[in-house]
């Protein structure tokens, strides 16, 4: 007998990542993802990263087939929890790919989400990418130097059952409509292949009403996904379906946009994004698009160009005044994560024990987080025993919220209670009873006068983005074209990819000399190398070129840290004549405090890992190891010593504890250059991030991801791969010959 599969209503979040992607949680494993999806109330999640061979191997090991094109966790891998055992998460194979290429005389950086029907198709995609010599093993989200249109053609040749979705389409630096490196329409990007694009992803930067303003997007259905980099972030954005549980049914619902099958989307308030509105953080100026155009995109305080955000980009290419003019609109729900609400009610951080305990108690009673936020009636929520939570959910659902928009790198905030209501119920957030009265009106879908904006836009002349002009330098005859482009880049973040024998050291030295030639004070320049030999060579080259009494600071990472600790040794309870101990000294100290001979090297490695990863002794899971670490540190302090790792570890701690010292170095070093960037470890990476906190600083790094040699020092090649994500506006040059 043949049974017809039943339709069911469920929530899905397709765009996520694995622990193989850069800057992601180690808990992004199938078992943790399945558990957290159950807690949230998400039935189907994307696998993320199916282009990574090791991740697909892990998926095959831990998952078994469920419905057509879907998978579920094997029993032996389920986490030991009983509260949500009855709910089984389904996995659907997905991956995000980053394409960086040049088209129409502009560098394009486009991200896409790919859906695959089975492991066979996923493996064929992996094989094709490797056949074309693309690196798919260093990052779960691979970077391809390939036109995204050609990639779509390639994948459709492998299987016409894939779904190809442009990701987070308004993100300034990495999307199809982003103003920094995108296009003005889907068709401009995909040309004749645009007929195979059925949906686009709103991303965290936008919600459906923002997209409804653009009639050219009417033909595409809107997906919303979390792009989760940790299990806790699942469901920040999500999708609601009412269909049979299978790959074919889900893909068909997305393609057709049938409102009886694809119900709509869940979105967090996009105003929380750190580039939602326009502004200038240093001058505390935050403008909506209308205010920005009235001020000619200039800061009224300092006169500099404002950092223009996502809402302005949407307004710029929109052709509607009223978002509900779009006819084929699906439902959408603006929600606030439950932990954020509980944090606001209690006045305590989301990560505190109290908030976590209340959260766990509520979701167990309700069945899931989305049941509370989306499905339960107000009366049912009231029965959970919390008047203030009940009021918060009611206001959130009605869009009666207080919003402070994010701008120029500063996150926004969405609150449900005003200042006068903050203290109500703080003492016991589960059982507080309070009478609430609010005159707050529901938040408009678009909160500025779009009609006035379009009128002003007709008379406003937008200043074109200034291309970096590489002038011929005085070193033109001594370098090749690739080297000169790197040398002539004066401002903004710069990544120079260079292997051995390509003139890296010469390029770095000439770049420093060129900065000085252009008027940059040598004392504002810092160059960091990995070896004393490289440091001496750069100094020698600069001295032979630059006719200056004052030379820029050139040092190794350890030498730089040493100079800072020497200057501020008293802040760390040492005198200026402190001593740097070596491994032999370490062994003697550990033996004296009773560490067994066969454990000494293990403990030394452990101490180094703690310091290179900027951990605290309390982060050690072994209480005995924590005790040894603390005794060791006390001896170093008593004997006026540091170990080699302290030269970075203690410098970072100094900057954290004494912000005024960090500010001095930030103001001193306006240009920083780092050689062999592929060899830095986490503590060195964080030191540089502290010194160069801006979105597009004058930071130049040079290195080759294929040449990492300092793995034994905790080096991690991922930081050079991560550079373009840390600094999205960065330029990338490649040296191929000496």
The predicted pLDDT at position 559 comes to 95
The predicted pLDDT at position 217 comes to 98
The predicted pLDDT at position 722 comes to 82
**Smallest Cα–Cα separation from 344: which of 270, 266, 404, 429?**
429
The predicted pLDDT at position 423 comes to 54
DSSP code per residue over 55-97: HHHHHHHHEEE-STT-EEE-GGGS-S--TTTT---EEE-EEEE
The predicted pLDDT at position 473 comes to 54
Please provide the average confidence, as pLDDT, over all residues in the chain. 89
Looking at per-residue pLDDT, the higher value among 620 and 249 belongs to: 249
CATH 3.20.20 maps onto the chain at: 92-269
Question: Could you tell me the strand order of the sheet in which 331-335 lies?
Answer: 63-65, 71-73, 90-92, 44-46, 7-13, 238-244, 262-268, 331-335
- Residue 179 to residues 173, 393, 596, 621, 729, Cα–Cα distance (Å): 7, 35, 61, 46, 11
**Residue 367, phi-psi category: left (phi > 0), alpha (psi -120 to 50), beta (remainder):** left
The predicted pLDDT at position 633 comes to 94
User: How confident is the model over 457-486, as pLDDT tens digits?
Assistant: 888 776 655 544 444 555 555 767 778 888
The beta strand positions in 245-350, using DSSP E, are: 262-268, 278-280, 285-287, 331-335
Q: Is the pLDDT of residue 713 over 50?
A: no
Which range is least confidently modeled, 104-118, 505-519, 536-550?
Answer: 536-550
Phi, psi angles (nearest 5°) of residue 529: -120, 180
The beta strand positions in 364-460, using DSSP E, are: 402-404, 413-415
The predicted pLDDT at position 463 comes to 64
**Smallest Cα–Cα separation from 173: which of 111, 109, 225, 112?**
109
Quick one: fold of 92-269?
A: TIM Barrel (3.20.20)
Give the residue carrying structure tokens 């020497």.
Answer: 566
Q: Is the pLDDT of residue 2 over 90?
A: no
Q: Tell me the two tokens of residue 277.
A: 């509105």
The DSSP secondary-structure symbol of 524 reads G
- Residue 647 to residues 526, 556, 691, Cα–Cα distance (Å): 17, 11, 16
Q: Is the pLDDT of residue 536 over 60?
A: yes
The predicted pLDDT at position 728 comes to 84
Residue 709 binned pLDDT confidence (cut-offs 50, 70, 90): very low
DSSP code per residue over 298-322: B-TTT-PBPB--HHHHHHHH---S-
Residue 1 binned pLDDT confidence (cut-offs 50, 70, 90): very low
Q: Is the pLDDT of residue 93 over 90?
A: yes
Q: Is the pLDDT of residue 424 over 70?
A: no
Q: Is the pLDDT of residue 243 over 60?
A: yes
Q: What global pTM score does this model have?
A: 0.82
Q: Is the pLDDT of residue 307 over 60?
A: yes
Q: Tell me the two tokens of residue 544.
A: 């032979």
CA-CA-CA-CA torsion sign (17, 22, 25, 26): positive
Q: Tell me the two tokens of residue 476.
A: 């033109």
Quick one: fold of 476-562+650-735?
A: Rossmann fold (3.40.50)
User: How confident is the model over 268-283, as pLDDT tens digits?
Assistant: 999 998 889 999 988 9
Residue 295 binned pLDDT confidence (cut-offs 50, 70, 90): very high
Residue 22 CB contacts under 8 Å (≥ 6 apart), including other chains: 139, 140, 141, 718, 721, 722, 725
The predicted pLDDT at position 427 comes to 45
Residue 90 CB contacts under 8 Å (≥ 6 apart), including other chains: 43, 44, 45, 66, 67, 70, 71, 72, 245
Looking at per-residue pLDDT, the higher value among 737 and 725 belongs to: 725
The beta strand positions in 537-638, using DSSP E, are: 553-556, 579-581
For residues 602-618, give the mean pLDDT.
Answer: 89
For residues 588, 590, 594, 597, the Cα torsion angle rounded to the nearest 10 degrees is -80
Q: Is the pLDDT of residue 711 over 80?
A: no
Angle value at C-alpha 608, between 623 and 18, nearest 5 degrees: 85
Give the residue carrying structure tokens 């750069």.
Answer: 538
- Specify whether the CB–CB gap between 221 and 199 falls below 8 A: yes
CATH 3.40.50.300 maps onto the chain at: 476-562+650-735
The beta strand positions in 155-208, using DSSP E, are: 163-166, 199-201
The predicted pLDDT at position 67 comes to 97
For residues 645-673, give the mean pLDDT.
Answer: 95
Q: Is the pLDDT of residue 302 over 50?
A: yes
Q: Is 677 exposed, middle or buried (0-12, 13-18, 19+ CB in 10 A)?
A: buried
Nearest-angstrom CA–CA distance, 733 and 313: 28
Percent of the chain at pLDDT > 70 equals 91
Q: Is the pLDDT of residue 143 over 50?
A: yes
For residues 302-322, give the mean pLDDT.
Answer: 93
First CA to last CA distance, the chain: 73
Q: Is the pLDDT of residue 542 over 90?
A: no
User: How confident is the model over 192-211, as pLDDT tens digits?
Assistant: 999 999 999 999 989 999 99
Rounded to the nearest 5 percent, the helix, strand and coil shares of the chain are 40, 15, 40
- Specify whether the CB–CB gap between 429 and 358 falls below 8 A: yes
Residue 338 binned pLDDT confidence (cut-offs 50, 70, 90): very high
- Specify whether the CB–CB gap between 38 and 101 falls below 8 A: no
Cα Rg of the chain (Å, integer): 28
The predicted pLDDT at position 712 comes to 38
Percent of the chain at pLDDT > 90 equals 68
Q: At what angle do helices 53-62 and 30-40 cross, to 10 degrees?
A: 70
The predicted pLDDT at position 83 comes to 64
Q: Is the pLDDT of residue 490 over 90?
A: no
Nearest-angstrom CA–CA distance, 449 and 290: 7
For residues 82-91, give the mean pLDDT.
Answer: 76
Angle value at C-alpha 348, between 345 and 352, nearest 5 degrees: 120
CATH 1.10.10 maps onto the chain at: 579-639
The predicted pLDDT at position 729 comes to 83
How many helices (H) and strands (E) the chain has is answered by: 26, 26
Other residues' Cβ atoms within 10 Å of the Cβ of residue 710: 15
Quick one: fold of 579-639?
A: Arc Repressor Mutant, subunit A (1.10.10)
The predicted pLDDT at position 439 comes to 57
Q: Is the pLDDT of residue 56 over 80?
A: yes
Residue 708 binned pLDDT confidence (cut-offs 50, 70, 90): very low
The predicted pLDDT at position 207 comes to 96
């Amino acid at each position: 007998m043949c049974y017809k599969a039943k339709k069911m209503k469920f929530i899905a979040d397709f765009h996520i990542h694995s622990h193989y992607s850069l800057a992601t949680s180690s808990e992004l494993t199938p078992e943790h993802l399945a558990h957290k999806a159950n807690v949230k109330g998400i039935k189907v999640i994307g696998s993320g990263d199916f282009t990574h061979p090791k991740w697909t191997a892990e998926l095959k090991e831990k998952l078994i087939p469920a419905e057509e094109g879907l998978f579920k966790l094997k029993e032996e891998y389920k986490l030991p929890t009983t509260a949500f055992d009855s709910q089984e998460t389904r996995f659907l194979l997905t991956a995000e790919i980053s394409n960086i290429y040049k088209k129409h005389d502009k560098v394009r950086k486009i991200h896409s989400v790919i859906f695959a029907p089975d492991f066979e198709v996923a493996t064929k995609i992996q094989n094709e990418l490797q056949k074309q010599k693309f690196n798919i093993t260093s990052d779960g989200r691979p970077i391809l130097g390939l036109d995204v249109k050609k990639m779509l053609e390639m994948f459709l040749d492998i299987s016409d059952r894939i779904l190809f979705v442009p990701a987070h389409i308004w993100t300034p630096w990495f999307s199809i409509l982003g103003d920094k490196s995108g296009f003005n329409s889907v068709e401009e990007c995909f040309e004749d292949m645009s007929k195979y694009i059925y949906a686009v992803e709103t991303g965290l930067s936008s919600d459906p009403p923002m997209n409804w303003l653009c009639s050219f997007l009417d033909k595409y259905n809107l997906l919303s996904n979390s792009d989760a980099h940790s299990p806790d972030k699942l469901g920040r954005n999500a999708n609601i379906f009412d269909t049979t549980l299978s790959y074919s049914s889900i893909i068909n619902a997305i393609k057709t946009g049938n409102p009886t099958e694809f119900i709509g989307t869940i979105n967090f308030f996009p105003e929380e994004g750190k580039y939602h509105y326009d502004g200038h953080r240093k001058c505390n100026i935050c403008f909506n698009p209308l205010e920005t155009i009235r001020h000619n995109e200039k800061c009224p305080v300092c006169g500099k160009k404002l950092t223009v955000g996502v809402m302005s980009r949407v307004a710029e290419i929109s052709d509607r005044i009223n978002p509900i003019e779009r006819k084929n609109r699906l439902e959408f729900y603006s929600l606030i994560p439950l932990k954020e609400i509980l944090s606001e009610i209690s006045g305590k951080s989301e990560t505190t024990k109290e908030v976590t305990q209340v959260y766990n108690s509520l979701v167990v009673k309700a069945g899931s987080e989305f049941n509370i936020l989306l499905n339960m009636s107000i009366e049912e929520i009231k029965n959970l025993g919390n008047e203030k939570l009940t009021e918060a959910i009611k206001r959130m659902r009605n869009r009666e919220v207080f919003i402070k928009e994010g701008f120029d790198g500063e996150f926004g905030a969405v609150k449900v209670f005003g200042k006068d209501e903050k203290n109500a119920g703080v003492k016991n957030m589960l059982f507080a009873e309070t009478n609430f009265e609010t005159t707050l009106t529901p938040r408009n879908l678009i909160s500025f006068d779009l009609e006035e904006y379009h009128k002003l836009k007709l008379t406003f002349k937008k200043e074109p983005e200034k291309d970096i002009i590489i002038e011929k330098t005085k070193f033109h005859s001594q370098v090749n074209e690739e080297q000169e482009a790197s040398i002539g880049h004066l401002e903004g973040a710069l990544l120079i990819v260079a292997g051995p024998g390509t003139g890296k050291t010469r390029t770095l030295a000439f770049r420093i000399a060129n900065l000085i030639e252009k008027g940059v004070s040598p004392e504002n320049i810092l160059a960091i190398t990995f070896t004393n030999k490289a440091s001496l060579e750069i100094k020698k080259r600069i001295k032979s070129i630059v006719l200056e009494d004052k030379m820029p600071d050139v040092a190794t990472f350890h030498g730089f840290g040493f100079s800072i600790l020497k200057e501020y040794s008293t802040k760390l309870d040492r005198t200026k004549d402190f001593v740097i101990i070596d491994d032999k000294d370490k062994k003697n100290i550990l033996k004296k405090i009773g560490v067994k001979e066969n454990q000494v090297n293990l403990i030394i490695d452990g101490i180094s890992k703690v310091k290179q990863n900027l951990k605290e002794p309390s982060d050690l899971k072994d209480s005995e190891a924590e005790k040894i670490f603390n005794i060791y540190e006390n001896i170093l302090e008593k004997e006026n010593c540091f170990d080699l790792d302290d030269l970075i570890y203690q410098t970072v701690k100094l900057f954290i504890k004494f912000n005024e010292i960090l500010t001095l170095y930030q103001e001193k070093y306006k240009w920083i250059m780092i050689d062999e960037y592929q060899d830095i470890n986490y503590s060195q990476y964080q030191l540089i991030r502290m010194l160069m906190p801006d979105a597009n600083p004058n930071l130049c790094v040079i290195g080759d991801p294929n040449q990492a040699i300092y793995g034994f020092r905790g080096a991690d090649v991922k930081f050079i791969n991560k550079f373009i994500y840390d600094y999205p506006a960065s330029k990338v040059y490649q040296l191929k010959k000496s």
